[in-house]
Amino acid sequence: MDALPFLTEINLNLLLKIPVLVLVFLYVIFSLILFNKVRSLGRMVFISHINITILLDIVAFIHFALSVSLFFISLVIL
């Protein structure tokens, strides 16, 4: 009967926080993959306007930086 208090004290907040953090972490991994693909395709594909390639790199980096900041903010809040 000593194991039953463990089963009755299930913390619902913890059951919600862990999957949310895992999903946000998977989103960070996705944005890192996207950032690397944009950089590599920008090097492989020749675009007549080099400014477009630089702009795409900047947008991909901003997306990655925002996803990392989202992860750290969710760690603080949750």
Give the tens place of pLDDT for each residue, 1-60.
555 666 566 677 778 889 999 999 999 999 999 999 998 888 787 766 677 888 899 999
Entry pTM: 0.78
Q: Into how many domains does the chain fold?
A: 1
Q: Which domain holds residue 63?
A: 15-77
Give me the percent of the chain exceeding a pLDDT of 70: 82
Does residue 4 fall inside a structural domain? no
DSSP letter (8 states) at residue 3: T
Residue pair 39/7 in contact by the 8 Å Cβ criterion: no
Does residue 73 fall inside a structural domain? yes
Does residue 1 fall inside a structural domain? no
Does residue 8 fall inside a structural domain? no
Does residue 3 fall inside a structural domain? no
Does residue 42 fall inside a structural domain? yes
Residue pair 30/16 in contact by the 8 Å Cβ criterion: no
Does residue 21 fall inside a structural domain? yes
